[in-house]
Amino acid sequence: MSYLTAQSGSDGLADNSMEFVVFFCDKQDISAIKVDVRMNKEQQLVLHHDTLEEGQYYVALEDVFAYIARENSPIRINCDLKETGLEEVVYGLANKYALWPQVELSGTVACSYLLKWSNQILMNIENGMDDSFHGEHIGRWGENVLLEALAKLSRSHARVININHQLFTDAVQEKGKQLALEFSLWTVNDLNAIGNYEKENIYNITTRKAWTYVQLKGVQTG
């Protein structure tokens, strides 16, 4: 059975907003929400995808955790780290609200954490590449580079690989099977593609149409 993750901003809600968190917090058919995490100058974790700007308001990750804990929601929280060195800070904050078992890390996660938290890390495939590939457009990552990255991450004890669904070729899927890896695919917005990936039992599917897909699926099976 695949997990279904609502990408920040799913179904027309504002990216990295409390509105987004509140909407999906009680949706039983949604496995997780994904938020982007950075640290501001006050050493506070906040939700935002791009570089932070002075004078702008950003939702605090602590407010997200506090709300989910207060609602006693089982929703998983995929914290996509946009900067290095945030792993322990997220861990400490999640522990404060007894939510660490519900937290998943993706983004710039150091491979050194794989042995410690392998079941809670969706390891981005680029973390297995040489630094020279970082910042390159994904269209320039050849298939050989992807296969080498899978092998490297497998040796580092990765369990689930987070990868753009456009890069999830037959060769990548086959290499993953050989290495006993599972895949988390982002960002899959075609409703038929989501259904097909579910049939293949892909570990996780992240989408900006999570609620739309759940409603459509309910109509089809109702």
pLDDT in tens, 165-221: 999 999 999 999 999 999 999 999 999 999 999 999 999 999 999 999 999 988 776
Average pLDDT, the chain: 95
Can you list the domains of the chain with their CATH numbers?
Answer: 3-221 (3.20.20.190)
Buried b (16+ CB within 10 A) or exposed e, 76-101: bbbbbbbeeebbebbbebbeebebbe
pLDDT of the residue at 142: 87
Burial 45-60 (b: 16+ CB within 10 A, else e): bbbbeeeeeeeeebbb
Q: What's the CA gap between 69 and 65, in Å, rounded?
A: 6
- pLDDT value at position 170? 97
Q: What is the pTM of this model?
A: 0.95
Q: What pLDDT shows up at residue 56? A: 97
pLDDT for 134 equals: 61
Q: Which of 207, 198, 147, 206 is nearest to 177 (CA)?
A: 147
pLDDT band at 37 (very low <50, low <70, confident <90, very high): very high
DSSP β-bridge partners for residue 200? none
Averaged pLDDT, 84-103: 98
Q: Which two tokens mark 88?
A: 């322990």
Strand-strand pairing, 3-6 and 32-39: parallel
What's the pLDDT at 132? 63
Quick: pLDDT tens for 114-141: 999 999 999 999 999 987 666 556 667 8
Give tens-digit pLDDT for 50-65: 999 999 999 999 999 9
- What amino acid occupies position 111? C
The string of pLDDT tens digits covering residues 134-148 is 655 666 788 999 999
Helix axes 18-25, 210-221, angle to 10 degrees: 20
